[in-house]
Amino acid sequence: MAEEFSLDDPTQLLEAASDFVLYPGPQTEASAKEFLDRFPLPVLINALQTKGDVPGLENALVACLERIFKTKYGASLIPHYMPFVQVGLKADSQLVRSLACKTVSCFLEHSDEIIPSPARIIIDYNLYPLLLDCLLYGNEQVATASMDAIKKLAGLSGGMDIIFPSNNNEAMHLGNLGGRSSSLGRVRVLALIVKLFSVSDSVASVIYSSNLLSLFEVEINNKNDALVTLSVLELLYELADIQHGTEFLSKTALLHSLSSIISNASTESILRSRAMMISGRLLSKENIYMSVDESSVKTVISTIDKILEPSESRDTDETESALEALGHIGSLIQGAALILSSSPPAARHVIDAAFDRQGHGKQLSALHALGNIVGESRPDNEIILNGDAEESLRRLIYETASKSSKLAPSGLLLSVLQQDSEIRLAGYRVITGMVSRPWFLMEVCSKQEIINIVTDANTVATKIDMEVRYKCCQSIHKAFMSSSKLINDPALAGIVAKLQETVRSGPYLSRKHHEAQPLVRTADRF
């Protein structure tokens, strides 16, 4: 009855499928079973293949089947309809191809409850080459769905053997696939590698051993297509952020390739900016110095430093990216020491820009970079640097102050704290890291206005701002408490009391001006 019904009355099928899709919230096992009892899966597949001239039927059926297959009940039916999945992966309709890719994902996601060897099914029905075909030639939606399915396959027993065959000469090997594809296809293959790389440390190891990371080097060294290079840099940016990625990326020549892009004056500004940000992200990882020698880090710092040399033609975004990159590198104690003790110290540009009000974005980037370099984001035992780096920091701060109208670091600080909330927030971070240095703590104490602003809860509005300001107060208070000379100075008693009160009140409860409270009273009666 249902088959005759679906063929004779597709409009009612359209209405039922649309209602099913529009049902709020996730579908239950019971609702999926109830729908398939009314319209069996062969009926839906047949209607999808023959859809005829009914407007909207394909869209409704695809959306309906997606929701059905996401349930355990729907996924349990997939192994019985693999030939239809196979046909769907080769369909002319991009919607149907996307559905087929998502169906494979649903099957793999629930495979432990459905079948003992899902990889065997993938091989028997030759689905992996079809997924790769969808990756290379489908639209964006199809390619994304294909990547998701292949990523799920990589996490299953036997899946890695399918994706990474022992014979590197096989046509389906990702290295060969990337080599013979169009520019779009190559970018998609690299995007798949990034997804697979994120699955686990063991998958990342296989990717490294298969020399697939060299594909990134080839593309970013290719000067013929800036758009492709930019796309690959964006993927590399994602790759550099994967927790276990540093160990493998640091063994490649990618850092050298990125330095080449940064130092090439003829390279487009946006490419240089992304290359700097990726370098900074890579060199901010905790274990990077176990894999990368110090000279390589110095080379990157020196290359970025040249970008910050004064130039009328320098792109603003490029300058901000350089400052942010140094901030990332400086978040580690080793990186901060190198930035401050290089010759000339790259930190000079960061400090100059941090207290220069000529460009808001540039100053903001510089202040956050300086906050990282001086240790705001590091553990307490890693804030203070080695002797040479600390002396360089002190000298640079005082030199910058002496060249300004403020004359002293305290004047520079006050100028920052009197600006808008974004700049002030970044200023709090700088103070938080810097007050561990006794000479800087004295600068903070030398101007009552600095303490007044930092302890005033009404200068901040958002939760993050409150927390950053409070952390700043805590750091100043802690520095005071560790200095017997300052804590016992009667002239500073008012500052100590103010800090103690602020710290005691907490980050959120110290506002003196409360919201108006409604007045409740009994109503007047006649």
Nearest CA-CA partner of 159 in 132, 189, 107, 119 = 119
The answer to whether residues 516 and 510 touch, using CB atoms and an 8 Å cutoff, is: no
Q: State residue 15's pLDDT score.
A: 87
Q: Residue 432 is inside which H or E element, if any?
A: helix 421-434
* Residues contacting 65, CB < 8 A, separation 6+: 44, 48, 99, 103
CB neighbours (10 Å) of residue 69? 25
- Judge contact between 290 and 339, C-beta under 8 A: no
Quote the pLDDT of residue 526.
37
What are the 10-residue block averages of pLDDT along the chain, 526 residues in total?
Answer: 51 86 80 89 86 81 92 90 94 94 93 75 94 95 96 90 84 82 92 94 92 91 86 91 84 89 89 93 87 89 91 79 96 96 94 90 96 95 94 95 86 93 94 94 90 86 88 91 81 86 80 48 49
CA atoms in the 13 A half-sphere facing the CB of 291? 18
Q: Quick one: DSSP state of residue 267?
A: S
d(CA 109, CA 103): 10
Burial (CB count <10 Å: 0-12, 13-18, 19+), residue 211: exposed
Q: What is the pLDDT, as a whole number, of residue 178?
A: 74
* Diameter of the chain measured on Cα atoms: 97
**Burial grade of 77 (CB within 10 A; 0-12, 13-18, 19 or more):** middle
C-alpha to C-alpha distance for 454 and 463, rounded to whole angstroms:
15
* Alpha-carbon Rg for the chain in angstroms: 30
pLDDT tens-place string over residues 460-486 = 778 888 999 999 999 999 998 887 777
Torsion angle of the four alpha carbons 504, 506, 509, 513, in this order, in degrees rounded to the nearest 10: 70
Tokens standing for residue 179: 């080599």
CA distance linking residue 496 with residue 484, whole number of Å: 12
Domains identified in the chain and CATH numbers: 166-245 (no CATH), 253-404 (1.25.10.10), 407-428+436-508 (no CATH)
Q: What is the pLDDT of residue 150?
A: 96
Spatial separation of the C-alpha atoms in residues 327 and 359, rounded to whole Å: 18
Q: What token pair was written down for 130?
A: 């079809």
The residue with tokens 């096989």 is: 170
What are 446-464's pLDDT values in tens digits?
889 999 999 888 887 788 8
